[in-house]
Structure 1
Amino acid sequence: MDRVNDLSSKKAAVIFTKSSCYMCHSIKQLFYELGASPAVYELDNDSSYGKEMERALKGNFGCNPSVPAVFIGGKFVGSSKDVISLHVDGSLKQMLMDAKAIWL
């Protein structure tokens, strides 16, 4: 839990992913298309803390599935469904701007 909180607060936009997850890839692409450069942590490639962070995302943040898990401005935003909903209603871009993850 502490590692997830620490990593998610160091950058304006953070995405916890797995390399084999197609929705993770889609969410990363969405952020790139909006002009953001999120910090991306692939849990399956982190042999030291990956499993521990995945458990924290499931248990402490209620992520099911555990990835993608998106943080903006150090705050947990949600999973792919939540991010897509925010994008559709137009608030994702504003959240990224407010967190200084993108500039216009």
Structure 2
Amino acid sequence: MDRVSKLAQQKAVVIFSKSTCCMCHAIKTLFYELGVSPAIHELDEDPRGREMERALLSLGVSPSVPAVFIGGRLVDSTNTIMSLHLNGSLVPMLKAAGAIWL
């Protein structure tokens, strides 16, 4: 849990992902298209990935990936991110966190 918390503070946007997950790819693409340069942690490529995945599940992220932190705060996964984007809340949240300057 401590590792996830520390990594979540690393940048304005932090994404815990798996390299083979199509929803993870979609979320990463969305952030790139918005001009965000997130820190990405591929759990399936990290020796401690299983441990981090369990920590994310204990935080209530289900499924465990993609798990998105904005400004160090857990925003959740695909459904929440897409809902925020569609209702116009995501960009202001990213601006407030210092992830973009539009």
Distance (whole Å) between structure 2 residues aligned to residue 10 and residue 16 of structure 1: 12
Alignment of 1:16-27 (within 5 A): 16-27=16-27
Gapped regions of structure 1 (runs ≥ 5): none
Partner of 2:49: 50
Residue 93 (structure 1) aligned with residue 91 (structure 2): yes
Gapped regions of structure 2 (runs ≥ 5): none
- SS of 2:55's equivalent in the other structure is helix
- Percent of matched pairs sharing the same residue: 63
Partner of 1:2: 2
| Distance apart, 1:64 and its partner CA | 1.2
Letter matched to residue 95 of structure 1: M
Letter matched to residue 82 of structure 1: T
CA RMSD of aligned residues (A): 0.5
Distance (whole Å) between structure 2 residues aligned to residue 14 and residue 64 of structure 1: 17
Regions of 4+ moved over 6 Å: none
What is the TM-score of this pair, normalised by structure 1? 0.96
Partner of 1:32: 32
Describe the superposition over 1:40-61 as per-residue Cα deviations: whole angstroms up to 9, x where unpaired.
00000001x10100000001x1
| Distance apart, 1:31 and its partner CA | 0.2
